[in-house]
Amino acid sequence: MEFNQLMNNNKLLIINGPGLSDLSNFNDYGYEDLTLKKLQKKCLETCKSLGIDLDFFQTDDQSELYEKLSDGLEGFDALIINPVGYSHASKLDLDVYNSNIKTSAIKNKPVIEVHIANIFQDGESVSEPVIVAKSDVGFICGLGVNSYELAIRSIHEKLNQN
Amino acid sequence: MNIYVINGPNINLLGTREPEIYGSETLEDIEKKCLEQGVKDGHIIKFMQSNYEGEIVEWIQNAIKEKVDAIVINAAAYTHTSIAIHDALKSFSGFKIELHISNPHLRETFRHVSYISPAVDAVIAGLGPNGYSHVIELLNNLNSQRIGKLA
């Protein structure tokens, strides 16, 4: 029984993009003392309680990010991605990012884009929309650590519906 | 907690209107799930829908008066047009979440601008009809953490 449960565990990949190794700049948003390690711990706890195997990944290196996106998705059932920088400074190559997200969405794998803070606040002009991935993905921002929590729960539900 | 769940125009057609985008669940189904989740967590939930912008503004003003703890708002098409709802939300100091069943950023360009997003703490889109009850489930955590720059 336990062996079967182990075999049936869904595999989730969480990718954190460039800059998220240091979360101290979220102090302004009221997330004092938030570290990547704390975030990872919380995600692992939630996944464990739901019977999900989690690979929690972070890189400050763009090419490594693309590599993970294109190669790494093969063994996973779902993806949660915090792409950070692209929404502000367009540091990421959007075409590469979007096509990779699209590939996983086409394979019917749930994808949710998350952000810790509300990326639409603070001087973002309402007439200039932030570009998000152009495929079938969910979107969550502004719930802090709970952005991840909500994403994991939604994905868990989605995977168990199929 | 006292929570308002506010729904905007055409959401009363849910289940029949473009089910390939919005799903086959009706608004009554969603309301039922929200209320059940609320009972579980000890929240008082007021679930509302209106096709009238002014009525939605009045509900938000009412939430301010009644010192409601949180608003979950799916302003639907008014998301992309209503400065009045933006202003009303700005005056509400409780926790506020913008919610969409589908992800507007993946659809027509006229849905890419949200006047609601800069006025709320958090934005949730594309999680389907169950996004509502999931958010309500999370409000317990949020209350203790009081995330967002309005904290």
With bands split at pLDDT 50, 70 and 90, how would you rate the model's confidence at B32? very high
With bands split at pLDDT 50, 70 and 90, how would you rate the model's confidence at B136? very high
Q: Do A138 and B126 touch (CB under 8 A)?
A: yes
CATH of domain B2-145: 3.40.50.9100
Q: Which of B22, B78, B115, B132 is catalytic?
A: B22
Q: Do B147 and A140 touch (CB under 8 A)?
A: no
Q: Which of A86, A97, A115, A156 is catalytic?
A: A115
Residue A107 scores a pLDDT above 80: no
With bands split at pLDDT 50, 70 and 90, how would you rate the model's confidence at A104? confident
pLDDT digits (tens, 9 = 90+) for B101-118: 988 877 778 888 889 999
The enclosing domain of A41 has a CATH number of: 3.40.50.9100
Residue B122 scores a pLDDT above 50: yes
Residues of A in contact with B120 (CB under 8 A): 118, 142
Residues of B in contact with A31 (CB under 8 A): 147
Domain of residue A34 covers 2-161
Sorted by sequence, the CB contacts under 8 Å of residue B39 that are 6+ apart come out as: none
Using alpha carbons, select from B48, B143, B39 the residue that is nearest to residue B96.
Answer: B143
- Chain B CA closest to residue A138: B126
Residue A135 scores a pLDDT above 80: no
> Where is average pLDDT lowest: A53-62, A135-144, B33-42?
A135-144
Residues of B in contact with A129 (CB under 8 A): 105, 112-114
Cα–Cα distances in angstroms (integers) from residue B70 to residues A55, A123, A138, in the given order = 33, 24, 22
The rounded distance, in Å, linking the Cα atoms of B36 and B30 is: 10
Q: How many domains does chain A have?
A: 1
DSSP E strand stretches across A10-88: 10-16, 52-58, 78-82
B52 vs chain A: nearest CA distance in angstroms? 23
The rounded distance, in Å, linking the Cα atoms of B36 and A130 is: 35
A:113-132 residues touching chain B, CB 8 A cutoff? 118, 120-122, 124, 126-127, 129-132
**Is the interface score ipTM higher than 0.95?**
no
**Higher confidence at residue A96 or residue A1?**
A96
Residues of B in contact with A135 (CB under 8 A): 106
Sorted by sequence, the CB contacts under 8 Å of residue A71 that are 6+ apart come out as: none
Residue A108 scores a pLDDT above 60: yes
What is the pLDDT at residue B145? 53
pLDDT over 70 for what percent of chain A? 75
With bands split at pLDDT 50, 70 and 90, how would you rate the model's confidence at A90? very low
DSSP state of B10: T
What is the pLDDT at residue B37? 95
Chain A interface disruption, residue of B124, B132, B133, B142, most A CBs within 10 A: B124
Residue B64 scores a pLDDT above 50: yes
What is the pLDDT at residue A131? 58
What is the pLDDT at residue B150? 32
In the residue annotation, A29 being an active-site residue is answered as no
What is the pLDDT at residue A134? 61
Residue A44 scores a pLDDT above 90: yes
Domain-by-domain residue ranges, chain B? 2-145
The rounded distance, in Å, linking the Cα atoms of B50 and B146 is: 29
In the residue annotation, B22 being an active-site residue is answered as yes
- Return the bridge partners of B2, or none: B44
With bands split at pLDDT 50, 70 and 90, how would you rate the model's confidence at A87? very low
Sorted by sequence, the CB contacts under 8 Å of residue B101 that are 6+ apart come out as: B14, B22, B23, B74, B126, B127, B128, B129, B131
**Higher confidence at residue A85 or residue B125?**
B125
Residue A144 scores a pLDDT above 60: yes
Residues of B in contact with A25 (CB under 8 A): none
What is the pLDDT at residue B148? 40
Sorted by sequence, the CB contacts under 8 Å of residue B83 that are 6+ apart come out as: B115
How does the average pLDDT of chain B come out, rounded?
A: 90
- Chain A CA closest to residue B83: A126
